[in-house]
Structure 1
């Protein structure tokens, strides 16, 4: 593991701890529930919550927001280093690759197509 991966993992761990504290404090202060996972992958949602934290009357919430601002958007921030992952709903909206269907005249059983996508889209939206 390189130093970059190690420091990125530490940064993500630190961000997760801070987001958890932000979640708890906002819940106590205003009853607001935030989505930590979505905050981790969506820069727009993250900025919205950081703006909310900066406008808070709680100094602890403001302090957490400033630390998260640096973790995500600072010079070596998580959103600055690499391209953030697309939100899940955006990824699911992408069309699935076409699958081959056997023709009516074919008598041989169809071969099971290999799934190149790590997410089996056949299970999405259904119970397993």
Structure 2
């Protein structure tokens, strides 16, 4: 794996830990419930929560906001730098043609019912 991937993974781990602290502090101090996973993937929601935390009179929330702002929106932030593409071999597997389906086995014909219909229409829609 490249160094860039390790750095990104480290940033994601650090962001997750800080988002957890932000979530707990907001919940305890303001009663506000947040969604960490949604914050991780939606830049608009992340900006909203960081702005709310930065405007809070609680110093810990302000500090967390500054740190998360840098991790997500700084020059090398998670929302700024594109995620590295997967290795070429993995991308080729995604676009490989699907194997041909096996020929269906010959099914035995259904026994005709008393009206000559091979399917018992009275059974359809009823419970066994």
TM-score when normalising by structure 1: 0.64
Matched, 1:82 2:86: no
* 4+ long deviations beyond 2 Å: none
Root mean square deviation, CA, Å: 1.1
5+ long unaligned stretches in structure 2: 84-103, 106-128
Q: Deviations over 1:42-95 (max 9, x none)?
A: 000000000000111110000000000000000000000017xxxxxxxxxxxx
Query: Is residue 58 of structure 2 the alignment partner of residue 55 of structure 1?
Result: no
How many residue pairs end up in the alignment?
Answer: 85
RCO (CA 8 Å, sep 6+): is it higher in 1 or 2?
1
Q: Which runs of 5 or more residues in structure 1 are unaligned?
A: 84-107, 110-128
Match of 2:19 in 1: 19
Summarize the alignment of residues 1-128 of structure 1 with structure 2, pairs less than 5 Å apart: 1-82=1-82
- Report which of the two structures shows the higher radius of gyration computed on alpha carbons: 2
CA distance in 2, matches of 1:82, 1:34: 25
Give the alignment's TM-score, normalised by structure 2: 0.64
Q: Distance in 1 between matches of 2:30 and 2:57?
A: 11
Distance of 2:60 and 2:82 partners within structure 1: 29
